[in-house]
């Protein structure tokens, strides 16, 4: 039965069929979210305070960390509330806002990865012109373009989704309000909405991945011409870190959003949700920092500076 009236809210089933798992996931989410906040905040802080990291690459990386931080912060409170107690409801307004923000941040992050691929292309294929091409105004324009693309995706997809007549029970088999789960809740033919979402998902997955792979095809050719073994190894490390993040993010999103009616997405969508809202934002900074000597060096300098400042205060007092 469809409920065409203004719904009072939705019920997020989450892991309610496995109550013994909910408390384990609750503490796991708290631990992972704490690590997300600390790791992404550290990258943002280091990019702002360390002069050696004041380059376009780390400017884009800090923006990516900010997006990850916002993405998790938008999702985790609702997820924790869902896992903690019997109340698994979310208001209609809260659901609309959550979908709007998730779409905006997710699409923005996808475009930001394309921007970072372009930055690596210029750095490796046009090294002598890098500082001229990747100037500060252009970097800000590229970041603004990413945000505008995310905003466009959000204001386009959200109204179309919430115009659907939802079934009267208003039960979403997920931790969060997401477009695929809402489409599956509709008591009407959703082929048009599913097609629109598939096209949108392709625009923000296939097209960016195609652009990224095109950039890396030129980068691969340029790497063979680099004479310095150290320079080649540094470029390979940076590029492989970026590609790892690309495949993790796009692979997970494609499983959920490309085809909302497929059995894998409908049956295991909540676990994909858990992965790309809590785990992926943690993997990004770990992948970049654990394989990046410059970031680890900046962190060590910041810690030494903090230790020396404490030592001076102890001497004074």
- Whether 68 has a pLDDT exceeding 70, the answer reads yes
Nearest to 78 by CA among 86, 60, 90, 68: 90
Q: How far apart are CA 148 and CA 101, in angstroms?
A: 13
- Whether 10 has a pLDDT exceeding 80, the answer reads yes
- Whether 254 has a pLDDT exceeding 90, the answer reads no
Q: How far apart are CA 155 and CA 151, in angstroms?
A: 6
Are 221 and 204 within 8 A, CB to CB?
no
Q: Which position has the token pair 């509709």?
A: 186
Q: How far apart are CA 178 and CA 10, in angstroms?
A: 12
Q: How far apart are CA 46 and CA 61, in angstroms?
A: 11
pLDDT at 5: 46
Please give the CATH number for the structural domain made up of 8-316.
Answer: 1.20.1070.10
- Mean pLDDT over each residue of the chain, to the nearest integer: 80
Lowest mean pLDDT, pick from 12-26, 43-57, 145-159: 12-26
Cα–Cα separations (whole angstroms), residue 63 to 36, 47, 93, 113: 14, 10, 28, 10
pLDDT digits (tens, 9 = 90+) for 146-205: 999 999 989 988 888 888 777 777 888 778 888 878 877 877 766 666 677 777 777 777
Q: What is the mean pLDDT of residues 130-154?
A: 92
Q: Is 289 exposed, middle or buried (0-12, 13-18, 19+ CB in 10 A)?
A: buried
Quick one: the chain helix, strand, coil %, rounded to 5?
A: 80, 5, 15
SS (HEC) of 16-53: CCCHHHHHHHHHHHHHHHHHHHHHHHHHHHHHHHCHHH
Q: Strand 2-3 relative to strand 166-167: parallel, antiparallel, unpaired?
A: antiparallel
| Choice between 6 and 79, residue whose per-residue pLDDT is larger | 79
- Whether 145 has a pLDDT exceeding 90, the answer reads yes
Q: Strand 171-172 relative to strand 9-12: parallel, antiparallel, unpaired?
A: parallel
> Which residues, other chains included, contact 211 with Cβ-Cβ below 8 Å and sequence gap of 6+?
114, 117
Are 66 and 108 within 8 A, CB to CB?
no
User: What percentage of the chain carries pLDDT values higher than 90?
Assistant: 18
pLDDT digits (tens, 9 = 90+) for 211-243: 888 888 888 888 777 767 776 777 777 777 778
Q: Strand 166-167 relative to strand 89-91: parallel, antiparallel, unpaired?
A: unpaired
Q: How far apart are CA 200 and CA 206, in angstroms?
A: 10
User: What percentage of the chain carries pLDDT values higher than 70?
Assistant: 84
């Amino acid at each position: 039965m469809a409920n065409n009236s203004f719904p009072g809210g939705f019920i997020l089933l989450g892991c309610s069929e496995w109550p013994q798992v909910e408390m384990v996931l609750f503490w796991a989410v708290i631990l992972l979210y704490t690590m997300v906040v600390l790791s992404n905040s550290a990258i943002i802080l280091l990019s702002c305070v360390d002069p050696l990291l004041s380059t376009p690459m780390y400017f884009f990386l800090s923006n990516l960390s900010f997006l990850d931080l916002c993405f998790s912060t938008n999702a985790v409170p609702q997820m924790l509330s869902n896992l903690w107690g019997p109340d698994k409801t979310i208001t209609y307004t809260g659901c609309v806002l959550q979908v709007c923000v998730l779409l905006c941040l997710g699409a923005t992050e996808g475009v930001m990865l394309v921007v970072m691929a372009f930055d690596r292309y210029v750095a490796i294929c046009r090294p002598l012109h890098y500082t001229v091409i990747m100037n500060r105004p252009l970097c800000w324009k590229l970041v603004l373009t990413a945000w505008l693309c995310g905003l466009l995706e959000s204001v386009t997809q959200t109204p179309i989704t919430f115009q659907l007549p939802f079934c009267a029970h208003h039960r979403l088999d997920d931790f969060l309000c997401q477009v695929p789960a809402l489409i599956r809740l509709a008591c009407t033919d959703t082929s048009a909405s599913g097609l629109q979402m598939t096209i949108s998902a392709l625009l923000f997955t296939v097209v960016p991945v195609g652009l990224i792979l095109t950039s890396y095809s030129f980068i691969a050719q340029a790497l063979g011409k680099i004479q310095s073994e150290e320079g080649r190894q540094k470029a390979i490390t940076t590029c492989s870190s970026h590609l790892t993040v690309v495949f993790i993010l796009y692979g997970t999103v494609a499983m959920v959003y490309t085809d909302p009616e497929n059995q894998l997405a409908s049956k295991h969508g909540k676990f994909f949700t858990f992965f790309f809202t809590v785990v992926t934002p943690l993997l990004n900074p770990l992948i970049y920092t654990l394989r990046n000597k410059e970031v680890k060096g900046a962190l060590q300098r910041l810690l030494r500076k903090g230790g020396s400042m404490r030592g001076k205060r102890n001497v004074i007092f």
